[in-house]
Amino acid sequence: MAFERITVDPEVMGGAPCVRQSRVPVATILAMMADGMSVTDILTDLPFLDEEDMTQVLHFAADAVRDRTARAA
């Protein structure tokens, strides 16, 4: 899957995967969700993001885990 809304730039946030055109790391969004925030809550706090950004964050994380699991097997 192509992740046009997730970017990795060594000059932005130390190269951590971030949501497009922002300095918001994927890990931050995932931590917010893990802490019980809903997508609506996150979008209220970060109004420059949208639902498709949230969907891509989840797909990106799933692919990262899937890839790591495949390498570990």
pLDDT digits (tens, 9 = 90+) for 9-63: 999 999 999 999 999 999 999 999 999 999 999 999 999 999 999 999 999 999 9
What are the structural domains of the chain? 6-72 (1.10.10.10)
Q: Which residues lie below 8 Å from residue 59, measured CB to CB, with a gap of 6+?
A: 1, 3
What pLDDT, on the 0 to 100 scale, is given for residue 67? Answer: 77
Angle between helices 26-34 and 51-72 in degrees, nearest 10: 90
Contact criterion met (CB below 8 Å) for 32 and 19: no
pTM over 0.75, yes/no: yes
For the cut 80, the answer to whether the pLDDT of residue 70 exceeds it is no
